[in-house]
Amino acid sequence: MKIADLYIRVSTDEQADKGYSQRDQKLRLMDHCANNQITVREVHFEDYSAKTFERPQWRKLLATIKSSKGKSHLVLFTKWDRFSRNASDAYQMISTLHKFGVDPQAIDQPLDMSIPENKMMLAVYLTAPEIENDRRSLNVLQGMRQARKEGRWMATAPVGYINKTSETGKKYIDFNDPQATYVKWAFQEVAKNITTVADIYRMATKKGLKVNKSSFWNMLRNVCYMGKIYINAYKKEQEMVVKGLHEPLISEALFYDVQDVLEGRRRSLERVTPKLGVPEELILRGLILCPICSKAATGSPSKGRSKYYWYYHCVNKCPWRQKAEIVNSAFLKELCSYIPKHGMGEIFEIELNDFFADNTAQNKMMKKGLMAEISTFNIKIDKARELLLEGNIEADDFRTIKIQAEQQIVRLEAKLAEHLGKKDEAAEISRTIHKVVMNLKKLDLYYLYGTIEQKRMMIGSIFPEKLTYEENTFRTAKVNTAIAIMYQINNELETNKKEKGDTKSPKSVLVPPIGFEPMTYGLENRCSIQLSYGGILNKNDQN
C-alpha cells in the first residue's frame, strides 16, 4: 500500500480563516486516498502564495521527506496551481522530490509521467497559473499607476499624514497633527540654511517627530508635501510629477528652497549649532574662548564638601579657570547692554516700516526677473528642438536638455506663483515689527526664563563668533550686523536727540536689508531677529 502526504494550500489568510477551501480540499483528498487504498501519513495546511516554494509548511514537509526517505511515496494536492504558480520552480521541485522517491500528483489533474505526451499537459497546468498571476499583477500595476496619474496617494501615508476613508469609500490622506506641524517646522528650518540638517533632525525628534534619520532625509525630498505625486519611469513613459488630490503641507517655493539647500545651490549663512545636553550652570560652554591661548573653553563641576561648584576652563593645559557663576553673571550684564534705551525702539520701528514700504516695488521686480528666467528656459527648449529637426543633435540629447529646462521652469513657476499670490502685508509686517521691538525691550527676561536650547540659540544669533571672557567682561570680534546697528543708534541717541515732531530717523541708511541674520530656531515671524520666543514669559509679562 502506498503512503502519501497531503498538501492543502490557500492563497490568503482570509481564505484560511473564513473560507471553506481548506476543508473542501482535505475532504476530497481523504476520499481519494480511501478509494485508492492510499495511507495518509501527514496533512499540511498552507496559507502562503505559490509564487515561490519559500513557504513554512512546504519547507516542513520537504524536511520530513528528506529525513524519512523511502517512507512516503506520494505528495497529493487537488490541482497543480495548489502546488506551484511558477513553472520553472515547479520543475526543479518535481526533480527534487523524484530524487527522494516521491511523486507529486494533482488528483483533479492526474498525469502519468511515464507517457511523454503528458509532460506537455504538465507544462500547460503549470504555466496557466503563472500567466494568470502575471496578468493580475500587470493589471494591478497599471491600475495603481493610473490612480497616481490622477493624483491619488497609493501607499501608506508619509509622516505628517494619515490614511483615511471617505463616506463614499474612497481612500485619501489627510494631515496628522501634531506630526504635520513638526514636519512643516523642519522644512522651514532647513530652508533657512542656518542650522545643519542633522541638528534640525535632533531638534525635530526632541519636539516629538517620529521618524528615523534616513527617513527624515527622504521626507525632505518627498514631493508629496507640496501636494504632488511622483510617478517613476515605466517602459517608454518618463518619470513625472503630477498634482495630487491631497492638501499640500508646504508651498512649492518652500519645497524647492529646501532642495536648493540639500543640493548645495544656496550659500550657507553663519550657522549656529546648538550643543544639546549642556547643563544650566555651563550655559556658555563651547561659546567662549580661553583668554590665554584662544582655544575653545569647556566647563566641569568640582565637588565641594556639601555641593558641586561649576567652573569654566580651557581644553588645553592653560591655567585659566573661572567660576561659572561669575562668568554667567557677567554675560547677563553684557546682554543687558543691548536692550534698547528709552526712545530707541520707537525710532527703530519707524525705520523698518519705512523700509518695508518699498516691498511692493521689490516684489514687482522679483516677478519680472522670474518671468524673464522662465522665458529664457523656454527659448532654450525651442532652440534645442530646432537643432533636433535640423539633425544637429540626437534625440537623447534633446530629451536631456528638455527635462533639465522643464525642471528649472517648474521651480521658477512655483516661486512666481508665491509672489503673484502675495497680498498687501503692510499691516501684518507692522505688527511683526512692533512685536520684535517689544521683545528686544525684554531681552533679559527672555534670556532668564528661556530653555537652555533657546538661550544658546539666542547667544549664537547675537554673537556669531565665540566670545572671550577677560577681567570680568566680554569681548567679541564680531556682532550680528543688525544688533551692531541698533546698538550704535542706541549709544548715539543721547547725543543725537530727535527734534519734537520729527518722525524720520537720521540713521535710515544704517537699517539693514530685509530680515536679520543669522535667523535661528524659534522664529515666529519672517522679519524677527530670533527674539520672538513665544511662551517663555507669562502672559502678564508679555503685556
**pLDDT, tens digit, for every residue of 309-318?**
899 998 888 8
CB 61 within 8 A of CB 83: no
Residue 498 has pLDDT above 50, yes or no: no
Highest mean pLDDT among 53-62, 65-74, 162-171, 410-419: 53-62
Residue 213 has pLDDT above 80, yes or no: yes
CA distances in angstroms from 539 to 121, 267, 534, listed in the order given:
84, 39, 10
Question: What does the block give as the cell for 411?
Answer: 521651480
Starting at the edge strand found earlier in the chain, the sheet holding 2-9 runs 38-46, 2-9, 74-77, 103-106
The residue with greater pLDDT, 65 or 476, is 65
**Residue 193 confidence class, pLDDT cut points 50, 70, 90:** confident
Q: What does the mean pLDDT of the chain come to?
A: 79
CB 105 within 8 A of CB 75: yes
> 295-311 pLDDT, tens per residue?
888 888 988 888 888 99
User: Span 332-343, mean pLDDT?
Assistant: 79
Q: Domains of the chain (ranges plus CATH)? A: 2-136 (3.40.50.1390), 161-262 (3.90.1750.20), 291-543 (no CATH)
Burial tier of 467 (Cβ tally within 10 Å: 0-12, 13-18, 19+): buried
Q: What is the chain's percent helix, strand, coil content, to nearest 5?
A: 50, 15, 35
Largest CA distance in the chain: 119
What does the alpha-carbon distance between residue 1 and residue 212 come to, in Å, rounded to a whole number?
61
The residue with greater pLDDT, 484 or 330, is 330
Looking at residue 529, its pLDDT comes to 38
> Position of cell 518627498?
222
Give which of 93, 88, 95, 98 is closest to 126, Cα–Cα: 88
Looking at residue 523, its pLDDT comes to 32
Residue 539 has pLDDT above 60, yes or no: no
Q: Among the listed ranges 40-54, 262-276, 378-392, 446-460, which one has the minimum average pLDDT value?
A: 262-276
CA distances in angstroms from 193 to 175, 287, 326, 480, 483, listed in the order given:
26, 20, 35, 17, 20
User: Span 404-412, mean pLDDT?
Assistant: 83
CA distances in angstroms from 392 to 379, 382, 384, 397, 404, listed in the order given:
17, 14, 9, 10, 19
The residue with greater pLDDT, 429 or 320, is 320
What does the alpha-carbon distance between residue 6 and residue 122 come to, in Å, rounded to a whole number?
20
Residue 124 has pLDDT above 80, yes or no: yes
**Residue 477 confidence class, pLDDT cut points 50, 70, 90:** low
**Residue 266 confidence class, pLDDT cut points 50, 70, 90:** low
What does the alpha-carbon distance between residue 111 and residue 118 come to, in Å, rounded to a whole number?
6
Give which of 142, 110, 141, 140 is closest to 125, Cα–Cα: 110
Give which of 353, 318, 323 is closest to 436, Cα–Cα: 353
Q: Among the listed ranges 1-5, 75-79, 342-346, which one has the minimum average pLDDT value?
A: 342-346
Residue 349 has pLDDT above 60, yes or no: yes
CB 101 within 8 A of CB 65: no
Looking at residue 535, its pLDDT comes to 40
Q: What is the DSSP string of 281-292?
A: GGTTTTTEE-TT
Per DSSP, the three-state class of 268 is coil
Quote the pTM value: 0.47
User: Looking at residue 158, what DSSP letter applies?
Assistant: P
User: Span 259-269, mean pLDDT?
Assistant: 72
> 102-115 pLDDT, tens per residue?
999 999 999 888 88
Omega before 178 within 30 of 0, i.e. cis: yes
Highest mean pLDDT among 130-144, 149-163, 275-289, 327-341: 149-163
Q: Report strand pairing: 467-470 vs 473-476.
A: antiparallel
User: Span 52-71, mean pLDDT?
Assistant: 90
Looking at residue 420, its pLDDT comes to 63
